[in-house]
């Protein structure tokens, strides 16, 4: 979820939303607009892209009005503003206008850093909107969405939802809202499975789970279904890598309770139990072979080969074969 500064008044003269996660950036804007309209239903909202904020535009938008109306001025992709427009914004920061809230959306990188630093120095209310690239971040997001709606979901349910939907935060948020509206009581894995079974079958993690379990035919079927529904090949190689690495980590870890291993390996306890079940049949050589297969597939889907789908099929077959080595299945 977005991290806010100590100054958490949405009607502060300046809000700085920093990051590249579109959903969180939009929510930062929506929060300011909602607060402004709660204070004044006739609030005027101007939502501009960086190329629309030409030199002089900000001065025009923030000039005193005969009606002294409240106004929200949103500037998106502020890191892309021209040098002259940046000068205008910096000048405005030194003398903000009462009843006007300026919202700057900035990617947060090196580009446009001068404006970013100036906004912070001016005491901006800051909302962090980082891109959620790690599965653990998306899992935390789903849990926070359920909490925000006053609902309880089991860890397995939240994980199943992330596995089924993927990396799109808007879709994850929409799914949480749908489940919260339709389901009474605690939301569990079975409920999520019923709602999103088609998506789960198409998920990259389903491909990985079937492969590391040695279920070659089911893994290939899930792979073909995933690709046919538009799942990016790079997401599938990532899921395969995570699945094999989890096997390797747990097989080399000391024995112990799931809670102790979870702390040691950085996995939730329920995942420890799942990976333990998937480990049967694996050998150290098998893990090494599978990791090489994943690396080859990763190179194949990122331009090192002519046929990404074939590269993935080869990897899935190799991983499933490695999973069967010890038991000779």
Residue 66 has pLDDT above 80, yes or no: no
- Enter the pTM of the model: 0.59
What integer best gives the mean pLDDT of the chain?
85
Instruction: Grade residue 250 by pLDDT with cuts at 50, 70 and 90.
Output: confident
- Supply the range of the domain harboring residue 153: 133-194
Q: Of 163 and 100, which is predicted with more confidence?
A: 100
- Residue 131, classified by CB atoms within 10 Å of its CB into exposed (0-12), middle (13-18) or buried (19+), is middle
Query: Is 2 a member of any domain?
Result: no
Exposure letters 35-60 (e unless 16+ CB within 10 A, then b): bbeeeeeebebbebebeebeeebbee
Same domain for 143 and 116, yes or no, is no
Structural domain total, the chain: 3
102 in Cβ contact with 96 (< 8 Å): yes
Over range 311-319, report the average pLDDT. 94
What is the CATH classification number for the domain harbouring 22? 3.40.50.300
Is pLDDT of 253 > 80? no
One domain for residues 262 and 157:
no
Residue 211 in this model has a pLDDT that exceeds 70: yes
Q: What is the DSSP string of 3-63?
A: EE-S---TTSSEEEEEES-HHHHHHHHHHHHHHHHHH-TT-EEEEE-GGG--TTHHHHHTS
Confidence (pLDDT) at 305:
62
pLDDT tens string 122-160: 999 999 999 888 888 889 999 999 999 999 999 989 988
- Comparing 268 with 141, the larger pLDDT belongs to 141
Size of the chain, expressed as the number of residues it contains: 329
What pLDDT score was predicted for residue 329? 45
Segment 181-210 shows an average pLDDT of: 79
């Amino acid at each position: 979820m977005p991290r806010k500064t100590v100054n958490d008044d949405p009607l502060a003269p300046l809000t700085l939303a920093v990051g590249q996660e579109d959903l969180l950036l939009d929510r930062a804007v929506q929060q300011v607009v909602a607060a402004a309209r709660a204070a004044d239903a006739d609030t005027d909202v101007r939502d501009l892209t960086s190329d629309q904020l030409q030199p002089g535009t900000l001065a025009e938008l923030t000039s005193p009005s005969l009606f002294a109306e409240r106004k929200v001025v949103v500037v998106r992709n502020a890191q892309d503003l021209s040098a002259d427009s940046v000068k205008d914004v910096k000048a405005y920061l030194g003398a903000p206008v009462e009843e006007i809230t300026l919202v700057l959306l900035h990617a947060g990188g090196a580009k446009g850093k001068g404006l970013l630093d100036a906004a912070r120095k001016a005491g901006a209310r800051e909302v962090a909107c980082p891109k959620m690239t790690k599965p653990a971040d998306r899992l935390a997001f789903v849990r926070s969405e359920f909490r925000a709606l006053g609902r309880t979901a089991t860890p397995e349910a939240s994980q199943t939802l992330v596995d089924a939907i993927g990396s799109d935060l808007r879709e994850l948020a929409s799914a949480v809202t749908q489940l919260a509206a339709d389901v009474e009581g605690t939301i569990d894995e079975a409920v999520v499975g019923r709602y999103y079974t088609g998506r789960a079958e198409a998920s990259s993690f389903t491909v990985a789970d079937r492969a590391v379990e040695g279920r070659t035919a089911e893994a290939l079927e899930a792979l073909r279904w995933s690709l046919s529904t538009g799942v990016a090949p790079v997401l599938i190689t990532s899921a395969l890598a995570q699945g094999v690495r989890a096997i390797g980590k747990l097989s080399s870890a000391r024995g112990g309770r799931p809670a102790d291993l979870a702390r040691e390996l950085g996995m939730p306890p329920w995942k420890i139990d799942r990976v333990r079940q998937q480990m049967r049949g694996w050998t150290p050589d098998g893990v090494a072979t599978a990791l090489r297969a994943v690396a080859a597939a990763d190179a194949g889907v990122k331009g090192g080969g002519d046929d990404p789908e074939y590269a993935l099929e080869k990897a899935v077959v190799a991983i499933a074969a490695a999973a069967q080595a010890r038991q000779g299945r």
